[in-house]
Amino acid sequence: MARMKFICDAERCIECNGCVTACKNEHEVPWGVNRRRVVTLNDGVPGEKSISVACMHCSDAPCMAVCPVNCFYRTDEGVVLHDKDVCIGCGYCSYACPFGAPQFPGQGTFGVRGKMDKCTFCAGGPEANGSQAEFEKYGRNRLAEGKLPACAEMCSTKALLAGDGDVVADILRSRVVQRGKGAEVWGWGTAYGSQTAGKPAKEGSAS
């Protein structure tokens, strides 16, 4: 069974924001809501790195743990989704998320803060796959079309990888072996639960 994961290869990300644009366009995300963003680490310092950040679909998702109305669920593919008909827009998930993924539109049913919106790994939501209702609430369901998330498929340098965890980790591993550096994957350990995952091996240790 595939376990869907994101990896952003910071050695390749050129901060073009193509992933952000692809996401906004694919799902017709409203103004003020950014399901994906490009973040620059150590901005202005020589050696700065950029990474593309969205919901990482954590193995043990904090948003899911704090939601008072249980609107979240996890699919068999490991994608964390939510039901907007259940969400009350309280914002607890926003405080719990280590990646700043939950977004709140400025206009909605509950006044200033509407129902939460976030990256769906292009897997839609709990409406009929490919239906108009699903598109309007959650965006396109590319997984049901046999495609991968638009952000990763649109990435010009292939910095952003999305798909089965085994496959994307294998692609990154082959790159690291070839170039001899850049094994760091920011957020990987936080999202998928390993303290050592995504960090370079210590000198002298076998890895």
Partner 1 sequence: MKRVALTTLCLAGAVAMLTACGERPQTNGGLTGAKRDASPVSGTDAAVFRQGGWKAGDQAAWSQQLKARAQYGMNDHSRTTN
Report the interface residues with partner 1, using CB under 8 A. 1-2, 61, 64-65, 69-77, 81-83, 85-86, 123, 125-131, 140-141, 143-148, 152-153, 158, 161-164, 167-168, 171, 174-175, 178
Closer to partner 1 at the Cβ: 128 or 201? 128
Q: Which residues contact 104 (CB under 8 A, 6 or more apart)?
A: 33, 89, 91, 94, 113, 114, 115, 116, 117
Is the Cβ–Cβ distance between 161 and 7 less than 8 Å? yes
CB of 178 to partner 1, least distance (A): 6
Is the Cβ–Cβ distance between 178 and 191 less than 8 Å? no
CB of 128 to partner 1, least distance (A): 6
Closer to partner 1 at the Cβ: 70 or 107? 70
Burial group, residue 92, by CB count within 10 angstroms (0-12, 13-18, 19+): middle
CB of 31 to partner 1, least distance (A): 25
Closer to partner 1 at the Cβ: 107 or 174? 174
Rg (CA), the chain: 17
Closer to partner 1 at the Cβ: 46 or 146? 146
Token couple for 8: 């952003």
CB of 123 to partner 1, least distance (A): 6
CB of 80 to partner 1, least distance (A): 8
Per the rule left: phi > 0, alpha: psi between -120 and 50, beta: everything else, 194 is beta
Token couple for 197: 């995952």
Q: How many Å apart are CA 64 and CA 205, to the nearest integer?
A: 36
Q: How many Å apart are CA 81 and CA 86, to the nearest integer?
A: 12
CB of 71 to partner 1, least distance (A): 5
Closer to partner 1 at the Cβ: 125 or 187? 125
Closer to partner 1 at the Cβ: 33 or 171? 171
